[in-house]
Structure 1
Amino acid sequence: MGGSDQYWQRHSQTVADPVVVFDDDEQVTANRQPAPAGAASNGTVVVKTHTEYSAVARNSSSDSFAVLVHLKAPGMTDAGSAGDAQPRAPLDLVTVLDVSGSMHGQKLALLKQAMRFVIDNLGPDDRLSVVSFSSGARRVTRLVRMTDAGKALAMSAVDSLKAGGGTNIAQGLRTAARVLDERRHRNAVSSVVLLSDGQDTYTTVRRWGSEAAGSNYEALVPPSFLRAGGEWSAPIHTFGFGKDHDAAAMHVIAEATGGTFSFIENEAVIQDAFAQCIGGLLSVVVQEARIAVTSVHPGVRVVSVRSGRYESRVHEDGREATVQVGELYADEERRFLLSLAVPRAAEDSDSETVLVNVVCSYRDAATGGNVSVTGEKAVVARPEDAGEAERSAEVERERVRVQAAEDIAAARAEAEQGAHEEAVKILENRERLVAQSMDGGAVNVALAAELREMLERVSSRERYEGSGRAYVLAGMSAHAQQRANSRHKAFGEAAPDEVTLSYATPAMRAMVRRSRGASVEQKLRESGDEVSQSYYGVPP
């Protein structure tokens, strides 16, 4: 047995051992420099507002005037690469991997290959801990920095994984929680990746068949991962592998912790799915972002905020509203629709009404500095006649997307009750309405295609149970979080390997391209065809 194998075997522990405390994480590097308030490492979040119409007639009022708040995070140079010269926030990553009996053979081989890619693309300031689970769970490696030595240890640990036993997702997550809760040191960014191809057979949960009585899938999630009282926790990004996983459980775990749920129907693309996720995690530029909306005009009130899974609150008097946004990857965007009550103009001399002021406050992930950005105030003109008022395409696109997301959720609820014809009708109707709003361009074209794919997958019990539930829940996750995940067949950019790239940032796309290149190189090396290797630019 080699030295690396001996090391990880000494440092791996089963969760059943009550004596072991996971406080042996490797020291983090001091690469995060203190920054004064208002400082940012690479630009600031851009905050824009768009009003539904450019003008409202002076003698008119509205109880539901739409204003779009649009955030865009600053970018990064060559974001996502392990050797960035530009400082970025280092990552603490815990991968929770299913090694139950159903993962034997090709599935486990593909998982190991994907993990090797992840390890290869982590930088020396990032730390990784590998947790595996079957009937029980064990920490295979402590949180160790991904230096050359750390990568060698992690590779050895991954190569040692063997499939066998049952599926205990809850135990795997409890072990991951201990890794993060008991660590002595902390990197700026923390996250968990969970992959499973089966259903937890060790935890009593009410599944979708008894949804009317209320499901309790959150029983699978350790309390320290559940966000409460405005506290930020490490998100769990879940990956349902193949057609036999518990998509409902994986979706709830992701939603409860602020993560995304991905459906890997085509098992061969697991590496690309992991790559997309890692590309985002290695480019976090904003943390603990919060939007504060304040009414400027004394008669303007905030009626509601449509914010998906992001916690929002409207104050009782309607004068203020907040949205808890959390982390943003480089170049990532968020859109939130406000509904405002707008009064008549008080005086004939009022040529415009200033509606609301929007401020985004957050912590710069790379420097730790606190930043506050004030967007342009949302303003509407108040002419005598607003018949020629310009309509905002930005607001309309977001309204179409939000309404589609709501109908996707409604169709899923019908399908869960066995009303597949009704589910199809909901999606068909929404597809027709989206098609009528094609002024939204490529976004609406892709949304219509997604709805068509969904209605096919909910059309019968057999199709829904086979892949429809997972596909629909993954779609709901992407729209609710406005964040890229992976699904069979793409919403947004079509990809030959069918990995979904909706909402994908440049860093995520770049990491997927790197994954595809690595896969081609590996296949060529395995073939031993020096002529082909030379043609593709791969040294023999």
Structure 2
Amino acid sequence: MSSPDNKTCGVCYGSLATGKGQAIFTAECSHSFHFGCITNNSNNLCPVCGIKWKDTPFTMPNSSASNTFFPSPFLPPQRQYPRLSRVLNQPQFPLRPVLESETFSDDDPLPGNVTDPNSLGLTTGLERVTIKAIPERPALGASESLSEFSVLVGLKAPSISDNGRNFQHAPIDLVTVLDVSGSMHGSKLSLMKSAVHFIIDNLGPSDRLSIVSFADTAQRILPLRRMIDEGRQSAKQAVDWLSARGSTNIVHALKIGVKVLEDRRQQNPVSTIIFLSDGNDTCNYGAFSNPRHELAYLHLLPASICPQNRGMENSGQQTTFPVHTFGFGTDHDPVVMHAIANASGGTFSFIESYEMLQDAFASCIGGLLSVVTQDLCLNLRSASHGVEIKSIPSGRYASETYNGGSQGIIKIGDLYADEEKEFLINLSVPSLPDDDAERKTSLLDIKCSYRDVASNEMVQIEGELVEIRRPKSVFPQDMVLNMEVDRQRNRLSALLTITEAQQMAETGNLAGAQAVLSKGRSELLATASAQAGDTLCMWLDGEIEETRKRMATPQVYMQQGRAYALSGMSSHTSQRAASRGNNVAGAQVSAASFGFGGASGGPSAKPAVFGAYVTPTMANMVAQSQQQSKLAKGISPTPK
């Protein structure tokens, strides 16, 4: 393709007239540029026609430390891409900056009928979700009445085989929203590119990926494309063309990311956004009086990631896209990123060490690529007169009780393969009439419903009736608190402790925050499950202590403590793994971890990993990322 006017620079569209004091470079494809505009083009591709240059009159800098070709920030959008847009729409040249006003309905068609599991190879249904229910004590005296008696209800998703990952999980539409502002220059940009390459390599042929980059404004640089060979190549080329410059516009970035999903012609069963930033929004402070207040950001964002923005007239059932946020380094805005993740149903990860970014992405992707159930609801019903459901501390999962406490519901949504969720259902239990006969009290009927992604069918499951004995005389063994109930109380208590400390630290009361954490830690270590050496309790103890250390001084709190605490709160409220600090969820550690229904070192203990809520698929994906990093550094991989 020839330039319509070879008297203008193909990058800045400025005049190439002689006598302007600028050197001119004419490429072998006949297109001409200001020498200063083209010297940072590290890809050797012509910005006008996309032809690969064989020879250049300058030395190409390393891509990780260079500002690759990027339109002039001083020109309005209408003048930045007048000729470039015509060639960047070609399949072999994927970079195509677009405006927010455009409609993103150019997504790749899905293979066959996405609603038909046979067209996607999802021909075999998975095993069913399993339910467990455990009263806090096996017996309660017939004459006793308790205003709060807990039953632990747990769910575990089915497994998928290693060779079934590509056809037993729900296909995903993934939008990565990536910060390329000036602060991402150098090694951070290079590490981010490698991490996104890892995502691209691990998406299946039914999965689709779109890439949005942002600085002063956001640009969709890759349409929603299937990750077949051509799509992978286009995605990697788009990532490689990213360069760092400008300021940070988080609001516009998320609007564009959401628009990609809202405008698509077809939809995969799972839709989500991964959002990475290393800074604060520097473009929208004028929209509100207090830029530190998280709600000031939320009201500017689309309702499909912040449902509270829908208003009463649009409060019906609508799609919400989870946003998994990654705060990169110590200068990002953790309050905003936690708020966005919490509002949308995603997780917030704090990436303190730049080198851990790919592993953190791998942990998140390992979960997203193993969704096996959707629309999961847990339905609870009182099984005896006088037994009432008093409360359901369900974290970020919507729950409610109704019909006078005789019924309750928890809306959980998606589950990853092998993922576990546990909830304490707090009941009131009445005394029984004076009677010599030994009795039982039925406490709860439990049912759950969900969509099996492998068969695309709705599944209904009934749990066993939850009962306790009601003897006239209670023996000591009847008073022993169940360890699994105790450890779940400890998890909730640790969450409350960290939340209270973080709120105090935000007001500047670090001494009070440290006192709260020390007290919470002492109470945790005094519990029966901690005394028994339960590994979850040991991990919670370490988390509380690490949070306390990161609240030592105002400077340490601002750089580390705030993000670390908020990431922990995000993980616990969703019961879903999140990376934080210098630790990746799913990375191997030396101590034994805890398992579903298991205690420290018990038969169901799983391989050791950092943190709670890690599934085998997540751990395997992190291990794959780490092996890849070793090979890239020339280190012999660890034998299996």
Q: What TM-score do the two structures reach when normalised by structure 2?
A: 0.77
For residues 93-140 of structure 1, the C-alpha deviation after alignment (integer angstroms, 9 at most, x for no partner) is 000000000000000000000011110111111100000000000110
Alignment partner, residue 612 of structure 2: 502
Matched, 1:23 2:111: no
The answer to whether the aligner puts 1:218 opposite 2:298 as a matched pair is yes
Matched ranges for 1:86-165 at <5 A: 86-165=167-246
Q: Secondary structure at the match of 1:64?
A: strand
Counterpart CA distance in 2 for 1:56 and 1:496 is 41
The structure-2 alpha-carbon separation of the partners of 1:251 and 1:503, relative to structure 1 and needing over 3 Å to count, comes to same
Aligned residue number for residue 500 of structure 2: 410
Match of residue 390 from structure 2: 303
Whether the aligned pair in 2 keeps the contact of 1:489 and 1:500 (CA below 8 Å) is no
Q: CA deviation at 1:8?
A: 6.9
Structure 1 gap segments, 5+ residues each: 525-531
SS at match of 1:452: helix
Aligned amino acid, residue 196 of structure 2? M
Return the letter of the residue paired with 1:462: Q
Superposed displacement of residue 365, structure 1: 2.2
Q: How many residues align?
A: 520
Determine which of 131, 146, 154 is the counterpart of 1:62: 146
Q: Distance in 1 between matches of 2:385 and 2:420?
A: 30
1:394-421 per-residue CA deviation (whole Å, 9 max, x = no partner) reads 1100001101101110000000000000
Q: Retained in 2: the 8 A contact 1:443–1:492?
A: no
Q: Post-superposition, which runs of at least 4 consecutive aligned residues in structure 1 deviate over 4 A?
A: 2-6, 8-11, 205-211, 228-232, 489-501
Q: What is the CA distance between 1:499 and its match in structure 2?
A: 9.2
For 1:468, the equivalent position in structure 2 comes to: 561
1:81-480 superposed matches below 5 A: 84=165, 86-204=167-285, 215-227=295-307, 229=316, 231-346=318-433, 348=435, 349=437, 351-388=439-476, 389=478, 390-437=480-527, 438=530, 439=532, 441-480=534-573
Deviation at 1:494, TM superposition (A): 6.6
Q: Helix, strand or coil for the counterpart of 2:299? A: helix
- What one-letter code is carried by the residue in structure 1 that aligns with 2:182? G
CA distance 1:270–1:208, shift in 2 (3 Å): farther
- Give distance in 1, aligned partners of 2:302 and 2:291: 24
Query: After superposition, where does 1:475-486 map in structure 2 within 5 Å?
Result: 475-486=568-579
2-structure distance, mates of 1:316, 1:195? 44
Change (3 A) 1:260 1:474: same
For structure 2, list consecutive stretches of 5 or more residues without a partner in the other structure. 1-44, 53-87, 308-314, 591-607
Please give the secondary structure, in 2, of the residue aligned with 1:318: coil
**CA–CA distance in 2 between the matches of 1:238 and 1:104?**
20
With over 3 angstroms needed to count, the CA separation of the structure-2 counterparts of 1:291 and 1:84, relative to structure 1, is: closer
2:148 and 2:426 in contact (8 A); partners too: yes
Determine the C-alpha separation between the residues in 2 that align with 1:286 and 1:234.
Answer: 16
Q: 1:142 to 1:461 in 2, by over 3 A?
A: same
Secondary structure, counterpart of 2:153 in structure 1 = strand
| Mapped partners of 1:445, 1:184: distance in 2 | 49
Q: Give yes or no for contact 1:74–1:331 (8 Å, CA) kept in 2.
A: yes
2:625, 2:241 → 1: CA distance? 23
**Inter-partner Cα distance in structure 2 for 1:322 and 1:427:** 32
Note if contact 1:169-1:220 (Cα within 8 Å) is conserved in structure 2.
no
1:7 deviates by 3.4
**Partner secondary structure for residue 212 of structure 2:** strand
Q: Tell me the distance in 2 between the aligned counterparts of 1:112 and 1:493.
A: 21
CA contact (8 A) 2:180 2:245 kept: yes
The C-alpha deviation readout for 1:245-282, integer Å capped at 9, x for no partner, is 00000000000000000000001110000000000000
Cα shift at 1:223:
1.2
Q: Deviation of residue 216 (structure 1)?
A: 2.6
CA displacement, residues 358-415 of structure 1 (integer Å, 9 cap, x when unaligned)? 1111111233211111111211100112232142111100001101101110000000
What is the DSSP-based 3-state SS (H/G/I as helix, E as strand, rest coil) of the residue aligned with 2:566? helix
For residue 476 of structure 1, report the CA deviation from its aligned partner.
0.3
Say if 1:94 and 1:128, in contact at 8 Å, map to a contact too: yes
Secondary structure of 1:141's counterpart equals: strand
- Which piece of structure 1 moves more, 279-288 or 497-506? 497-506
CA distance in 2, matches of 1:278, 1:85: 13
SS at match of 1:7: coil
Q: 2:173 touches 2:224 (CA, 8 Å); kept in 1? A: yes
Q: Find the counterpart in structure 2 of residue 12 from structure 1.
A: 96
Identity percentage of aligned residues: 40
Distance in 2 separating the partners of 1:3 and 1:472:
49
Equivalents in 1 of 2:412, 2:96: separation in Å?
36
Shift of 1:199: 0.5
Q: Secondary structure at the match of 1:243?
A: coil
What amino acid is aligned across from residue 516 of structure 1 in structure 2? Q
Give, in whole Å, the separation in 1 of the partners of 2:320 and 2:244: 30
C-alpha contact (below 8 Å) 1:449/1:491 kept by paired residues: no
Residues 269-313 of structure 1: CA distance to partner in whole angstroms, max 9, x if unpaired? 100000000000000011111111101101100010010111111
> Deviations 1:326-377 (Å, cap 9, x if unpaired)?
1110000111111101001246235100001111111112332111111112
Aligned counterpart, 1:529? none
Q: Normalized against structure 1, the TM-score is what?
A: 0.91
Once the two structures are superposed, residues 114-173 of structure 1 have per-residue CA deviations (whole angstroms, 9 ceiling, x without a partner) of 011110111111100000000000110000000011100000000000001110011111
Asked if the contact 2:517/2:545 (under 8 Å) is kept, the reply is yes
Specify whether residues 11 and 26 from structure 1 end up closer, same or farther in structure 2 by C-alpha distance, changes over 3 A only.
Answer: farther
Judged with a 3 Å threshold, the aligned counterparts in structure 2 of structure 1 residues 74 and 169 are, in CA distance, closer, same or farther, namely: same
Larger Rg: 2
For 2:506 and 2:281, the matched residues in 1 are separated by: 20
Q: Secondary structure at the match of 2:110?
A: coil
Structure-2 separation of matches of 1:141 and 1:210:
32
Describe the shift of the 1:362–1:347 C-alpha distance in structure 2 as closer, same or farther (beyond 3 A). Answer: farther
